[in-house]
Every structure is written in structure tokens, then in C-alpha cells.
Amino acid sequence: MNFFQTYYEKVVKQDLINKFIYKNNTKLPKLKQITLNFGCKNFSIQKFATTMLALEIITLKKSSITIAKKPNILLKIQKGQPAGCIVKLQNKEIYIFLTKLNIEILPKLKNFSEFKFKKQRSNFFFQIPRDTLMLKEFEIQYPLFVGLSTLDINIVTNSKKEKEILFLIKSIKLPISTK
């Protein structure tokens, strides 16, 4: 069992029960899914390959290409063209990624203090800015990964209350500001 999964099961659940009132344990907020996305404006096949490889290195899971459903004149993307790369993490993969995020990715970010809290329904959304993502695996082939775009990370929970989502995100040790 992963460290974050054990931490959630043993500590965070108890903290949630003590802080909020639940009639049933199934109503406790849980992490349902984490979606990682690299948006690619008008990249070549080589750029798509490097962004897909970067996502696979970060998450240890195969990534897929997203196709534009609508044309976007500003980004110069036509309908049906590739628009980015995406990976969806569920179950144990979530906790593996959170461990990697807290131990390897966040400490190496340049000029980083905290994420801004952006709530969308039951989601928590944040971004890792362009050219700040550095991993050991990227350092070996630095010229290949130098032009990575912004990494969008979307954490989906089953909670609908903003206080519960904030408490859950803070309890998994993500540095966020509520301003």
C-alpha cells in the first residue's frame, strides 16, 4: 500500500469525521480521479511524442491524444485535429502520483510558493507553469523536454462542499492559497 493511501485511510478519514458531521462513512470525501493534461497549440508530431512521453514518465501510465471537438481560431486548431495529451488516473494510481508530486515535482519547481484554489463543481484545478517541470528522468534528456507546455492537473472528488474539498486538498499536503 502506498504512503498517501495509508495516510488517507488512517489519518485523513479520521480528521474528516472529527471536523465535519457525516451520517454515513460512504459520504466521506474521496479522491475519485486525477486528470493530467498538456495542451498543445500547433505542435508537430515530434512535440506530441515528447509531451506524451513526458506524461508517461510522470504518471507511469500510457497517455492518449485529445482531438479538438470545435475549431479554435485563436489557437489555430481545426475541428478533428490533435489538441493535446491526457492521462486519467484512478484508484491506486492517484496515490502513486500524489507521492511523486509531493516528493519529486513540487520541491524542484522554480519560483514556486503555492497553488491558487480554483474550484469547479467538485473539482480542484491547478497548473504547473511552462518550463518549470524538472524530474530526474527529464534531466537525462534535457533538450528533448525543454519546450513542454503548461501541465494542467484536475483533481476530482465526490464532495460538493468547498470547505470539505479545501480540507481534503490541504490534508494531502498540497500547498494552496485560498485568496
Residue pLDDT, tens place only, 12-70: 888 888 888 888 878 888 888 988 888 776 667 777 777 888 888 888 888 887 777 77
The predicted model scores a pTM of: 0.79
State pLDDT tens for residues 102-153. 877 777 776 666 666 666 666 777 777 666 666 767 767 776 777 777 778 8
Architecture of domain 1-17+55-140+155-172: 2-Layer Sandwich (3.30)
Quick one: DSSP state of residue 48? H
pLDDT band at 74 (very low <50, low <70, confident <90, very high): low
> Judging by DSSP bridges, how do beta strands 176-177 and 115-116 pair with one another?
parallel
Helix or strand holding residue 166 (H, E)? helix 162-171
| pLDDT-wise least confident of 1-5, 25-29, 129-133, 154-158 | 129-133
Q: What is the mean pLDDT of residues 157-170?
A: 81
Q: Is 133 exposed, middle or buried (0-12, 13-18, 19+ CB in 10 A)?
A: buried
- Higher-pLDDT residue of 82 and 53 is 53
Predicted confidence (pLDDT) at residue 162 exceeds the cutoff of 70: yes
CA distance 42 to 83: 8
pLDDT, residue 88, reads 92
